[in-house]
Structure 1
Amino acid sequence: MTHKILFVEDDAELAGLMQGFLARHDLEVVIEPRGDTAHAALEREKPDLLLLDIMLPGKDGLTLCREIRPEFAGPIVILTSLDSDINQILGLELGANDYVLKTTPPAVLAARLRAQLRQHDHRAGTPEPDSSQLLVFGQLRIDARSREVQLGGERITLSTTDFDLLWQLASHAGEVQDRDTLLRVMRGLSYDGMDRSIDIAVSRLRKKLGDDPTAPSRIKTVRNKGYLFSPAGW
């Protein structure tokens, strides 16, 4: 099955090389060279995945990620030369599913893109959840049918990745979930001992769900093991 990727990148040589390489992996790449025309390209091409550079003419990739995330259900991957923890954290906070450096070998990038697409296809192909896929813990309500989260009657806005992470934790309430399991749920990848995206995502969930970051009682850290969703903390 061929998937379509919209690659927003102003380096024509790099974009062309990537287009040719990914085509050999059944990934059709459409190139858009400007950030300020990316919305129109998204509407026109209807891609399965959005691949974004950060430094773009017209509008930067982080701004695009923030603006596009609420309206685009597919994976968003940032591909950049900016090797910075701050940029990585910001990109993931703004709704990106992955943050990849341009120095990453093309074969590894292709594997990560395909992993994101498999995760998305799995979610999209999952049959309509039945009523058993409604989780309620005190004032917290998680509805897999509508992918909505409410806390104290107030709707909490979560990205697709963050919802999947919360659902994995909450559907195994009272059980420790290790980072490898959670990373596979979020990104389809194994934990390498260095990836911080799970910790960043859990921190983001805690903030949105009103959990005390200094002494969390709702999503607890279990040292050297992973995270535990407390059913009694809501």
Structure 2
Amino acid sequence: MYRLLIVDDDQELCSLLTSYLSQEGFEVTSVHDGGEAAARIRSADFDLIVLDVMLPTMNGFDVLRDIRRQKSVPVLMLTAKGEEIDRIVGLEMGADDYLAKPCNPRELVARIRSIIRRAEAMPPQLDAEESKDLTLLDLTIEVGKRIVSVNDEVIELTATEFQILLLLADNAGELVKRESISEECLGRKLAAFDRSIDMHISHLRKKLGAGTTGEERIKTIRGVGYQYVAI
């Protein structure tokens, strides 16, 4: 049974989501305060955190920042409908995905299952026999252990960032379309005006740093997709 933490100051919504998610087989804990959430996350392990932005004591961004200092647990941000800036900031800070409120509980369950699946499963483009280390100059990806290092220094990535990097690196030098990244790494079809992939790529670039030639490792093919440049 997967353990979820719902962080939202709307107690009625938490009650409804707890009831629905429990029926779907999840073990659910809910808190309604950002400070309490941060303390709970430090002291307990969860498989995924559903995190609202607007919270008392600590807002969702501060809680997410606190999480990413210590854990790589998947985080699904809940944002107000139409607040694109919240989605962008959340993704830049390391959220795995976002969902606008009010949300359909069935879509929430689908997003949760997709995030958990990609966080723990073998990457979709590789089977168990192919899960060998992948090395591209100073970049090493230990697929089975889900460890990424640059010049032997381990880089902490979220599950989504790992999946995207692995897909690009496994196709180094080739164009990987945005549609493929969305379907294979986010678990959903690419939606119009969805900037999730762009934010994850931006985060990867910052974490990985420049390549051996001083240029960006991930090249944008404008309007089409991305390419890992192994030079």
SS at match of 1:55: coil
Instruction: State the distance in 1 between where 2:141 and 2:3 align.
Output: 31
Q: Which residue of 2 aligns with 1:58?
A: 57
Q: Which residue of 2 aligns with 1:81?
A: 80
Superposition deviation, residue 45 in structure 1: 5.1
Instruction: State the distance in 1 between where 2:54 and 2:110 align.
Output: 24
Report matched runs for 1:29-178 at 5 Å: 29-42=28-41, 46-81=45-80, 83-123=82-122, 133-152=132-151, 154-178=153-177
Superposition deviation, residue 62 in structure 1: 0.8
User: Structure 1 length as normaliser, TM-score?
Assistant: 0.82
Instruction: State the distance in 2 between where 1:152 and 1:4 align.
Output: 35
Instruction: State the distance in 1 between where 2:129 and 2:140 align.
Output: 15
Q: Which amino acid aligns with 1:136?
A: T
Q: Which amino acid aligns with 2:56?
A: P
Change in CA separation of 1:68 and 1:130 when aligned onto 2, cut-off 3 Å = farther
Superposition deviation, residue 186 in structure 1: 3.0
Q: Which residue of 1 aligns with 2:14?
A: 15
Structure 2 alignment gaps of length 5 or more: none
Q: Which amino acid aligns with 2:219?
A: K
Identity score, percent: 36
Instruction: State the distance in 2 between where 1:18 and 1:208 align.
Output: 34
Contact 1:130/1:145, CA 8 A, preserved across alignment: no
SS at match of 1:133: coil
Change in CA separation of 1:160 and 1:117 when aligned onto 2, cut-off 3 Å = closer
Instruction: State the distance in 2 between where 1:114 and 1:155 align.
Output: 27
Q: What do the CA deviations read for 1:32-60 (whole angstroms, capped 9, x no partner)?
A: 12111113423565322111111112211
Q: What do the CA deviations read for 1:105-151 (whole angstroms, capped 9, x no partner)?
A: 22212211121122223159xxxx88973232233333335544343
Structure 1 alignment gaps of length 5 or more: none
Contact 2:219/2:226, CA 8 A, preserved across alignment: yes
Instruction: State the distance in 2 between where 1:74 and 1:170 align.
Output: 23
Superposition deviation, residue 65 in structure 1: 0.9
Instruction: State the distance in 2 between where 1:123 and 1:97 align.
Output: 17
Q: CA RMSD in A?
A: 3.0
Contact 2:6/2:50, CA 8 A, preserved across alignment: yes
SS at match of 1:169: helix
